[in-house]
Chain A
Amino acid sequence: MMNSQSCVTILKEWDIVAARQMGREIAKNIGFGTVDQARITTAISELARNIYLYAGEGKISFNIVQSLDTKGISIKAEDKGPGIKDLSQVMEDGFSTSGGLGAGLPGVRRLMDDFDIISEVNKGTTIVTVKWLR
């Protein structure tokens, strides 16, 4: 069995590419098709970019998760950055995208199946999101 946890530290913009690459490789091994691989990778990009742009430093870790009848990829994005004051607002469509910032967190939620976020101002943000193999 392969090592079920792997992670990438995000510090420079180039690290976003490394996170994408690692995530895509894991998704491919789990058995995701090309469209889902592209979606998972886009979600990773978005999470890693948020760390790079707003927290400065953080990490993205990957887990293979198992349910009764299928398996999936779990992506965890953690940082000790400024945190998010109004979570409802950033989860709202049209809020982050209006400035052309990209898909934003609502986009990540759409690309993936499960999505959870915990954030505390001045302490940091942790996002866990899972895509299940269908």
Chain B
Amino acid sequence: MDTREIDTRNYTALLKKYIETQDEQALYGAEQISKSFIKKNILPEEFVNLHIQALLEIYPDLHDKIKPSMHFLLEAMISYGLAHQEFQNLREKQLAIKSEILVAARMQKMLLQSKIPETDELDIGVISVPANQMNGDYHHFVKGKDGTISITIADVIGKGIPAALSMSMIKYAMDSFPENIMTTDTVLASINRVVERNVDPSMFITMFYAQYKPDTGKLYYSSAGHEPGFYYSSRLQKFKDIESKGLVLGVNPDASYVQDELNLEKGDIIILLTDGVTECRRDNQFIDRTEVIDVIKKYIHLPSQEAVNHVYRHFERLQNFQLRDDFTLIMIKKQV
């Protein structure tokens, strides 16, 4: 006896029992049967057909108006069966896409990973967390042969896969620039031309690029419309915005940038971030930049990596553990 016959028999028995007793147990049985049918991919029209067969067995001389009415129902079920199969197929596809994105995200992480350079002069901490699976924020550290430490932080307006793809391009463009012989403003001017040529005009990228020269203790920097970071002066015990003027990348191929500088003293701190930090929302209201400073102040005594982790956790909780934008925060403390 094949499974179909068993199903038919069970169903008929159950239906018969219910017609006689109308008790809950038979209905529970119906629930179990329908679940097992779904597992076996039995379509609604086949279910209705089974019901017709069962009815005919129980009432061999079924009222001649009932039979066509059951057939009518069967015909009407065909489209439901198709919709059901379509949903199933789409669900499988969705799972496949999900796992594909997961692989892509892992690959992106590997491509874009940046080791924090080892240096006694600076204590560097960084945290970068994507809102979805793929990150549209970018940060990168390079230690040159002369000890110069270059720091890049960038943000694609938008998030998700298109943003993440643009970021991979930025990384390889940056890697191709000659090491340390360029000033920060020329680096931005060059990357601006790359972005302008290669990225969809509807996509904007902001970037902050800095070089720390250990021999002079100076930080040189330029910004392409990037969210201003913070400079903390340990002597004055005060925070100041790191302002630098420059157009976002990819708008005008001839944009030029300016190089500014900061004299770093022992205990001074540089904080770089993306707008995922400053645009954290509480009850749909953007938080204030001063609020970001208040949170940073709370953890500023900690080693940089611990401090940024704590700040992230604070904002993660503030947003009910659902980031709305990619979040990147870098903290650099001058140690000596």
A-to-B contact residues, CB < 8 Å = 33-35, 38-39, 41-42, 93-94, 97, 102-103, 106-107, 110-111
| A102 and B90 form a contact (CB under 8 A) | no
In this complex, the interface size class of chain B, counting residues with CB under 8 Å from chain A, is 10 to 19
CA distance A94 to B94 in the complex (A): 12
| B75 and A41 form a contact (CB under 8 A) | yes
| A34 and B74 form a contact (CB under 8 A) | yes
Known contacts A34-B71, A93-B90, A94-B90: does B83 contact A39 (CB below 8 Å)? Answer: no
| A42 and B74 form a contact (CB under 8 A) | no
Chain B CB count within 10 A is highest, among A38, A39, A97, A103, for A38
Cβ contact of B78, chosen from A42, A93, A94, cutoff 8 A: A42
| A74 CB → nearest B CB, Å | 20
| B71 and A107 form a contact (CB under 8 A) | no
CA distance A83 to B336 in the complex (A): 75
CA distance A106 to B79 in the complex (A): 12
CA distance A111 to B93 in the complex (A): 20
B-to-A contact residues, CB < 8 Å = 45-46, 49, 52, 71, 74-75, 78-79, 82-83, 85-86, 89-90, 93
| A30 CB → nearest B CB, Å | 18
- Closest chain A residue to B89, Cβ basis: A93
| A88 CB → nearest B CB, Å | 14
Residues of A within 8 A of B78 (CB): 38-39, 42, 111
CA distance A107 to B46 in the complex (A): 16
| B85 and A35 form a contact (CB under 8 A) | no
CA distance A41 to B71 in the complex (A): 13
23 contacts across the A-B interface (CB closer than 8 A): A33-B49, A34-B71, A35-B46, A35-B49, A38-B45, A38-B75, A39-B45, A39-B78, A42-B78, A42-B79, A93-B86, A93-B89, A94-B90, A97-B83, A97-B86, A102-B79, A103-B82, A103-B83, A107-B79, A110-B82, A110-B85, A111-B78, A111-B82
| B134 CB → nearest A CB, Å | 24
CA distance A119 to B93 in the complex (A): 26
Residues of A within 8 A of B86 (CB): 93-94, 97, 106-107
